[in-house]
Amino acid sequence: MKLEFLYDQGISFIREDGLVANERLFGVLDGVSAPHSPKHPPKLFDGLTGGEMVVRLAEDFLSFLIKVLPQIPPLRQFIIKLNELIDEKQKNLNVGERAGAVFAFALIKKDEVEIVQTGDCFAVIEKKDGEIVVSPNQVRHHDEAMNKEINSLMHEISQEKFKQPLETLSEKRLNEVKGEMWNRFRDTLIEARRQDNNNPRSPRGFGILNGDPRLEKMLWKKKFPISEIKTILLFTDGIIPWSEMKKLSDEEIGRKILEIHRKGGLAELLLSARKAESKISHAEVSAVAITF
């Protein structure tokens, strides 16, 4: 078994992505802080943003637990226990205002591999017979709706403040518009997350590790005999910019990422992602590659 790991912070000032890597359990996490804005600064947990807190807790808990257990339970049980710990940190917050993390994990057992994924992290499994299995981007419909609202607000505020089309604004004015947009958008995002986070009844629902026990219903779970697997790729959404992701189906994303990985491993994937982004929007990226 060959292993590759990648973490690149991009332009982010905080580290809300995460990696889990030991003898049996491998995975990536993408932290999600509660909605905030210039007028409503993010809630901190001992100096960490909510997204950082959840990801660091997950890294520590999963890395420790897998080492001390004499027998390895189903991966789902690890996640349920971790979710309970995160709930303890945020019991006084409603679902829409909770921090969390989406993830993709692979648990390697003697004869099989167990995969569990949520949100817009990805698990791509290439089998020796050529079949490719790709986890769903559960956040796609939520993101589409939120990006549409953001775009509408940006244009509206640009006209209100400067009587100019958004596309003609200077960088300084554009930043003013963005700040005001986040002030107005925050309540909308709180309500959207309340409706969609871990809600199997919502058409935009997605799983997120935030302490809500409904998470269990949103887990994407698969098991594969090790003898059938060629490659497993686990990665956060930063590996492919939204401008490209929104044009591709989940299967197309999986095939594209596998093709790039074959050319030069995870380093080639990072290079490809950076080429597709503008120089001022390099996203945080985490990835794991497991080759049998």
User: How far is Cα 157 from Cα 185, in angstroms, rounded to an integer?
Assistant: 12
Structure tokens at 196: 């969609």
User: How far is Cα 104 from Cα 88, in angstroms, rounded to an integer?
Assistant: 23
| Close Cβ partners of 97 (under 8 Å, ≥ 6 residues apart) | 34, 35, 190, 193
User: How far is Cα 105 from Cα 233, in angstroms, rounded to an integer?
Assistant: 10
What pLDDT was estimated at residue 23?
81
User: How far is Cα 201 from Cα 195, in angstroms, rounded to an integer?
Assistant: 9
- Calculate mean pLDDT across residues 250-274: 96
What pLDDT was estimated at residue 254?
96
What pLDDT was estimated at residue 74?
87
By CB atoms closer than 10 A (0-12, 13-18, 19+), residue 82 is buried
pLDDT at 280 over 70: no
pLDDT at 69 over 80: no
Average pLDDT, the chain: 94
197 or 240: whose pLDDT is higher?
A: 197
Q: Which CATH architecture has domain 2-138+197-291?
A: 4-Layer Sandwich (3.60)
User: How far is Cα 154 from Cα 106, in angstroms, rounded to an integer?
Assistant: 40
* Closest to 291 in 3D by CA, of 237, 233, 209: 233
Residue type, 187: D
**Range among 74-78, 90-94, 265-269 rated most confident:** 265-269
- How does pLDDT run across 21-57, given as a tens digit for each residue? 988 899 999 999 999 999 999 999 999 999 999 999 9
What pLDDT was estimated at residue 71?
75
- Calculate mean pLDDT across residues 216-240: 97
pLDDT at 289 over 90: yes
- Calculate mean pLDDT across residues 176-181: 97
Read off φ and ψ for residue 270, nearest 5 degrees. Answer: -65, -45
What pLDDT was estimated at residue 279?
64
pLDDT at 108 over 90: yes
What pLDDT was estimated at residue 197?
98
What pLDDT was estimated at residue 64?
82
pTM above 0.75, yes or no: yes
pLDDT band, residue 70 (cuts 50/70/90): low
- Calculate mean pLDDT across residues 235-244: 91
